């Protein structure tokens, strides 16, 4: 059997959260439904954060109500606290993702809480989720650098990732929020975290500010990771991380993986078409090199 990688498609959440022009709810639903037909198995559908802080995703419940949930596909949603979890459940979510950071300063800007306090907020979420049979993913942001603090010690990443895993997150996604990492550092960070959390329970989440994301992913694949977050058309960015650019484009990741003989279960043509459709909707060129090359001349 070919070595396989699971992509976690984050365009409907990370890809859209930074868009200043309001995207229509029907278009968000259409995006998720299109992605559901590409062979993806994990699609982060939206986010139940405070609509005051991320107005673009204020329609999270309507998105959840409108999407067609295909069997075998997980539709995780971001939740920052118990209130977000309860809203997500009321909207029918069966998988959620909590998020914190390896940097205190970034966490305070992003979720108005220090690392310890954010983890205390997650405790009731994990307890409710366990009782409800809901799977919880965990994110650690700023794993290779912070827009406020600068360098982030690897030991801090290891500690926070370990705490999320110990709390009950089935998977911990390591986020290079501002895309400053390079392959040697990415590999060293991944290897250090894998001493604390089994590599099978780790995912990587690279933003592509300096064009290093694919190289970083390759370095982490070589270190054993088999779950990769990405966003079609290279959309994305965190509104509270100055200088953060788009996520690595899903189409580019899939092109690389298939070229390496790795299985993703994804139809690259359908994925690339979805990326071009999204870019057109947002009024720009696709940020995916593969998506562009595969498109009409």
At its nearest, how many Å lie between ligand HMG and the CB of residue 106? 9
| Separation CA 50–CA 80 (nearest Å) | 9
At its nearest, how many Å lie between ligand HMG and the CB of residue 240? 6
By a kind-dependent CB cut-off of 5 to 8 A, residue 246 interacts, out of Mg ion, ligand HMG, none, with none
Token digits for 233? Answer: 């058309």
Binding residues (CB under 6 A) for ligand HMG: these are: 14, 17, 47-50, 53-54, 80-81, 83-84, 87, 99, 110-112, 139, 141, 175, 177, 205, 207, 238, 240
By a kind-dependent CB cut-off of 5 to 8 A, residue 75 interacts, out of ligand HMG, Mg ion, none, with none
At its nearest, how many Å lie between ligand HMG and the CB of residue 182? 17
Instruction: Pick between residue 178 and residue 294 the one whose CB is nearest to ligand HMG.
Output: 178
By a kind-dependent CB cut-off of 5 to 8 A, residue 104 interacts, out of Mg ion, ligand HMG, none, with none
| CA within 13 Å, CB half, 227 | 20
Question: Is-catalytic flag, 169?
Answer: no
Q: Which residues of 64-88 are buried (b: 16+ CB within 10 A; e: fewer)?
A: beebebeeebbbbbbbbbeebbebb
Encoded one letter per residue, x for contact with Mg ion by CB under 5 A and - for no contact, window 5-34 reads ---------x--------------------
Name the residue with the smallest CB distance to ligand HMG. Answer: 175
How many degrees, rounded to 5, is the angle at CA 121 between CA 118 and CA 126?
A: 115
| Separation CA 17–CA 14 (nearest Å) | 5
CB 102 within 8 Å of CB 160: yes
Instruction: Pick between residue 142 and residue 294 the one whose CB is nearest to Mg ion.
Output: 142
Instruction: Pick between residue 179 and residue 291 the one whose CB is nearest to Mg ion.
Output: 179
Q: Are strands 46-47 and 202-206 parallel, antiparallel or unpaired?
A: unpaired
Q: Look at residues 93, 45, 1 and name the one whose alpha carbon lies nearest to residue 231.
A: 45
Instruction: Pick between residue 110 and residue 212 the one whose CB is nearest to ligand HMG.
Output: 110
At its nearest, how many Å lie between Mg ion and the CB of residue 176? 9
Q: Which residues bind Mg ion (CB under 5 A)?
A: 14
Q: Which residues are catalytic?
A: 238
């Amino acid at each position: 059997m070919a070595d396989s990688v699971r992509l976690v498609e984050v365009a409907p959440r990370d890809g859209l959260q930074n868009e200043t022009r309001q995207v229509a709810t029907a278009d968000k639903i259409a995006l998720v439904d299109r992605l559901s037909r590409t062979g993806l198995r994990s699609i982060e559908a939206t986010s139940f954060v405070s609509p005051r802080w991320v107005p673009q995703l204020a329609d999270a419940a309507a998105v959840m109500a409108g999407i067609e949930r295909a069997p075998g596909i997980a539709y995780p949603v971001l939740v920052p606290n118990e209130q977000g979890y309860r809203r997500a459940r009321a909207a029918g979510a069966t998988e959620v993702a909590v998020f914190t950071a390896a940097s205190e300063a970034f966490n305070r800007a992003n979720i108005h809480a220090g690392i310890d306090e954010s983890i205390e907020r997650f405790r009731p979420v994990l307890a409710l989720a366990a009782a409800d049979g809901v799977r919880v993913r965990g994110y650690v942001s700023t794993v290779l650098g912070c827009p406020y603090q600068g360098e982030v010690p690897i030991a801090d990443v290891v500690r926070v990732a370990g705490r999320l895993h110990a709390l009950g997150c089935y998977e911990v996604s390591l986020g290079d929020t501002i895309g400053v990492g390079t392959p040697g550092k990415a590999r060293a960070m991944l290897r250090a975290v894998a001493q604390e959390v089994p590599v099978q329970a780790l995912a990587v989440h690279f933003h592509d500010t300096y064009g290093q994301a694919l190289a970083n992913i390759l370095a982490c694949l070589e270190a054993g990771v088999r779950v990769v977050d990405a966003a079609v058309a290279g959309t994305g960015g965190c509104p509270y991380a100055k200088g953060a650019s788009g996520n690595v484009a899903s189409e580019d990741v899939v092109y690389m993986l298939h070229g390496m003989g790795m299985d993703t279960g994804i139809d690259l043509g359908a994925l690339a078409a979805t990326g071009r459709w999204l870019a057109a909707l947002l009024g720009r060129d696709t940020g995916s090199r593969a998506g562009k090359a595969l498109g009409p001349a």
